[in-house]
Amino acid sequence: MHIGPLLGSGRTADVYALDGSWVLRRHRHGIDTTGELTVMSYLSASGFPVPRIGPPAEEALPTDLVVQRLSGPTLAEALLAGTVTEDEGAGLLARLLRELHAIPPRLSQDPEDRILHLGLHPENVVLAPEGAVVIDWLAAGEGPPALDRAMTSLILAQVALDPSFSAGPRVRDLLAVLLSLFAEDGGVPAGALTRAAALRAADPRLTAHEAAVLDEATELVASLAG
């Protein structure tokens, strides 16, 4: 397979077409994707909805990742288009995290630890014809599920506080519903929220706005979580 045209770009990676079934994701800073590949393979074998891993492409770099070419909107796009309601979106996010956290960790010996996505928000959920698929596992790790719930909540709160984003109030509504659903799974304890905020603060990919509202976003999650 030869590397085809650029399909899209994210904060750290570009996605190129290969053929009708596969795409190549290339990180612009040469980030090692070995860990991401390992986690995705483990989750796929466990039945969790991740993109399939494809064969190596010609002209590919060692850090490139070939994955299934997905069709369908992201959850974020569906929410903005109104084809998915805030209640439905929150229900989907809560379900995906619940299913993820039912899978035992690969490495940790702590029986309470699970695989964590650490960024499972609407832009990282593709509503493919066969069902929702979770993408972008670069930041995945292992730890307590509450940390994953806190990270998802914090990212949504930062988006809700963006004055340039007209759908901010709807994101806040989504967050409120999501936190009520999280309460059934153990909620977002203060310690987990503090740790998530520290991880976000250390993330070099944060925009200036995200960094500026981090404290306010943390307070918003804490207030809505009750």
Q: Residue 47 has which token pair? A: 């039945």
The mean predicted confidence, pLDDT, of the chain is 93
Would the pLDDT of 75 be above 80? yes
pLDDT digits (tens, 9 = 90+) for 165-198: 999 999 999 999 999 999 999 999 999 999 999 9
Q: 143: how many CB neighbours lie within 10 A of its CB? A: 18
> What are the contacts of 178-181 at 24+ separation with CB within 8 A?
178/90, 178/93, 178/94, 178/152, 178/153, 179/153, 179/221, 179/224, 179/225, 179/226, 181/90, 181/91, 181/94
pTM for this entry: 0.93
Share of the chain above pLDDT 70, in %: 100
- The confidence score (pLDDT) of residue 19 equals 84
Element (H, E) at 141: strand 141-143
- pLDDT-wise least confident of 33-37, 69-73, 221-225: 33-37
pLDDT digits (tens, 9 = 90+) for 26-65: 887 777 888 899 999 999 999 999 999 988 777 777 788 8
pLDDT digits (tens, 9 = 90+) for 138-160: 999 999 999 999 999 999 999 99
- The confidence score (pLDDT) of residue 1 equals 63
Helix, strand or coil, per DSSP, at residue 23? strand
pLDDT digits (tens, 9 = 90+) for 77-136: 999 999 999 999 999 999 999 999 999 999 999 999 999 999 999 999 999 999 999 999
